[in-house]
Structure 1
Amino acid sequence: MASTELPPNIAVLAAPALFGHLFNYGLFGVLSVQVYIYYASFPADPKYLKALIYGLFAVECAQVAVATSDAYAVFGAGYGNFAALTGVHLLWMTPIFSSIVSSSVQCFYAWRIYHLAEKSVYLSVLIVLVALTQGSGCMASGITVHLLGSSDAGIQRTRASTTVWLAGSLACDVLIAGSMLFFLSRKKQGLASDAMLSRIIRLTVETGVLTATIACIDLVLFLAFPDANYHFAPALVLSKLYSNSFMVLFNNRTSMRNFRGGVHTSGGRIWFQTTGSGEAESRMRGQSDTRLATQDISLTKLPGAVQCEISTVVEQDYHSDMRKTSAMSSESLA
């Protein structure tokens, strides 16, 4: 029978979980749209990337199913029952799903940084170790809650592992954002391709700061208010923020198609299309069907034409973060 006597602090116990579920559903909707955009826009991407993206989406679907079961047990079948509100139910599985998503995304960034840093192993290994550490702490928190329940002993036992989880996520996100900012900035050469690099840098820093901020807020709320559920809201949405940030960087390629006349993707690669006029453009189209994949191309001066120079290979591997940066310049001739 449902209890009719509820504690005076019922709001600090129920409201964070309620808002956490609402935000979780909203971000899952955004993620679903992003995955569909990826499916429709990049069918030629390598199979390992598709497996990673669709695998993470499957994990997020499972997390939403578990969260829905928990929400029903607390706010549906257990409405007004204080024992249902404080029970663990399937909530212990959420940190496990979160650890899989966050660790996978962070390890993928470590792989990108490995190529950006000209295959320097030490920094990438450090990021992977921090990512696996925080993922292990996250998974340990969920398993501990499942074994010990929501008792005081269980909460105290999860304090250390949860701190490792959230502090490790914060440290790893800051390390990734800083490394990407440093190495991508070094690729700038004062040429037209810098606009694309600037966009990638901005997105990387913004997404890294977002996930690091939410992890920091979650950590502060968990340590400062151990008797309240304030930290539930950010904890429930943390994995969705990682997966959405991950998809933003992949789907950003669609907006790059307008860069310098257009960007086309095929097989996980980006092809830059430069714009020209007159006879120069006709020669370019005739030689490569508007897709340039040659090296050290230069067009001689032609009356009323545009001189285009490509100093490095224009066909680049996007998923290795443009190890060979394209440098294009255009100069109008009299």
Structure 2
Amino acid sequence: MSIHLTPLSHKLLGITANWMLFGTLWVQVYLYYVAFPKDTRILKWIVFILLVLETTQTATMTHDAIQALIIECTDPNVFNVIRKVWFSIPLLTGLIACITQGFYCYRIAVLTRSKYAVTLTSMLTLGHLAASIAVAIQTKRAILLTRLLSQKRSLVTIGMSGGCSLACDIVISAIMTHQLKKRDTGFENTHRIIVRLIRLTIETGCITALSTGSVLVLVYLPGHPPYYQLTASISAKTYSNAMMAVLNSRVKVVSNIGAYGAPWWNESVQPNGSNYLAGKAQDILFRKDSETGIERSNMDRCGTF
């Protein structure tokens, strides 16, 4: 049995997924400001700007959805009109991706100190931003989505934007993984931190690359079915959530229960100390990872400016 999704379904699914990732982003930003109040002001401003851009995108997409589904519901071309899509998806997605990829470019500069690696990632990032601005201009002029996707020039520009972004994500993941492996000293604490950072780098890189790649594949399907609208709606959120996941990876959630103390629910042992409160849940504290030799050098600067 095949399931046929109408353009309404793709738009609603895209907005719903966008709101879900938007809520996840708010939680991550809150945890970041609580756990790292002493981070540099530049990094805090970057996180704040990302949150403002993401809020603007979600609000704009929601406004367009309300206008299409309620105000202009009798228009037969209601799902074909571009409205503010040129601003909410190609332009804002390009800006958000540029900020997050610039953050990764700084991490590469700290780890590698290689002009070639930094230049390559910077060129791909700026190429993606320039192509995204061009796509936004072409989208605004097209007025209709079908007219936009029927123009060869627009398809080429979309391919350049997605191709630069996809290549940049792959290059960043490859360089970061290679450099982190080179800094593994073999000590247990350092090895554990390196393995965790490598896993996080690969996971976040795969998520952003998969999001961008899926948009490219779906846009170039024969007949241009509206499947691409779902993945394009969440592309920016994947970048911002991936960056916040990297920043918050420096945090450990620990309990204030002593290492060798009995839990408060064990009635056979009478707990001592003010940390054990019978009948009450223990507090959860935030703390940074304990410093090791690798953290005191370059690794500790990868998350700060």
Q: TM-score range by the shorter chain?
A: 0.7 to 0.9
Consecutive aligned runs of 4 or more in structure 1 exceeding 4 Å deviation: 261-265, 316-319
Report if aligned partners of 1:271, 1:315 keep a CA contact under 8 Å in 2: no
The structural deviation recorded for 1:197 is 1.1
CA deviations over 1:186-235 (Å, ceiling 9, x no partner): 11111021101110110110010111011111100001144321111111
Secondary structure in structure 2 of the residue aligned to 1:79:
coil
Secondary structure in structure 1 of the residue aligned to 2:249:
helix
CA–CA separation in structure 2 for the residues paired with 1:234 and 1:217: 7
Secondary structure in structure 2 of the residue aligned to 1:255:
strand
1:114 is matched with which residue: 109, 115, 120?
Answer: 109
Structure 1 residues 88-167: aligned runs within 5 Å: 88-94=82-88, 95-117=90-112, 119-150=113-144, 152-155=146-149, 156=151, 157-167=153-163
The structural deviation recorded for 1:115 is 1.4
CA deviations over 1:282-333 (Å, ceiling 9, x no partner): xxxxxxxxxxxxxxxxxxxxxxxxxxxx7x48634655339xxxxxxxxxxx
In structure 2, the partner of 1:277 is: none
What amino acid sits opposite 1:195 in the alignment? R
**Bigger relative contact order, structure 1 or 2, given CA contacts below 8 A and separation 6+?**
2
In structure 1, the partner of 2:22 is: 28
What amino acid sits opposite 2:17 in the alignment? F
CA deviations over 1:247-290 (Å, ceiling 9, x no partner): 001111112879xx99955xxxx652xxxxxxxxxxxxxxxxxx
Report if aligned partners of 2:80, 2:145 keep a CA contact under 8 Å in 1: no
1:175 is matched with which residue: 166, 171, 177?
Answer: 171
What amino acid sits opposite 1:133 in the alignment? G
Structure 2 unaligned runs (5+)?
A: 260-284
Matched, 1:220 2:224: no
The alpha-carbon distance between structure 1 residues 115 and 151, as it changes in their structure 2 partners (threshold 3 A), is: closer
Secondary structure in structure 2 of the residue aligned to 1:224:
coil
Matched, 1:42 2:36: yes
Structure 1 residues 296-311: aligned runs within 5 Å: none
Please say which structure displays the higher CA radius of gyration: 1
Give the count of matched residue pairs.
268
What amino acid sits opposite 1:239 in the alignment? A
CA–CA separation in structure 2 for the residues paired with 1:165 and 1:257: 42
Deviates more, 1:129-138 or 1:203-212: 129-138
CA–CA separation in structure 1 for the residues paired with 2:60 and 2:116: 38
Structure 1 unaligned runs (5+)?
A: 1-9, 273-309, 323-334
The alpha-carbon distance between structure 1 residues 151 and 254, as it changes in their structure 2 partners (threshold 3 A), is: closer
Structure 1 residues 70-89: aligned runs within 5 Å: 70-89=64-83
What amino acid sits opposite 2:50 in the alignment? L
CA deviations over 1:111-142 (Å, ceiling 9, x no partner): 1111111x111111100110111121122111
Secondary structure in structure 2 of the residue aligned to 1:57:
helix
In structure 2, the partner of 1:283 is: none
In structure 2, the partner of 1:301 is: none
Report if aligned partners of 2:35, 2:251 keep a CA contact under 8 Å in 1: yes
CA–CA separation in structure 2 for the residues paired with 1:35 and 1:249: 12
With the length of structure 1 as denominator, give the TM-score of the two structures.
Answer: 0.75
What amino acid sits opposite 2:195 in the alignment? S
With the length of structure 2 as denominator, give the TM-score of the two structures.
Answer: 0.81
Report if aligned partners of 1:107, 1:128 keep a CA contact under 8 Å in 2: yes
In structure 2, the partner of 1:321 is: 302
What amino acid sits opposite 1:22 in the alignment? T
In structure 2, the partner of 1:253 is: 250
- Percent identity, aligned pairs only, is 27
Structure 1 residues 59-78: aligned runs within 5 Å: 59-78=53-72
In structure 2, the partner of 1:5 is: none
Report if aligned partners of 1:196, 1:256 keep a CA contact under 8 Å in 2: no
Matched, 1:56 2:50: yes
In structure 2, the partner of 1:207 is: 204
In structure 2, the partner of 1:288 is: none
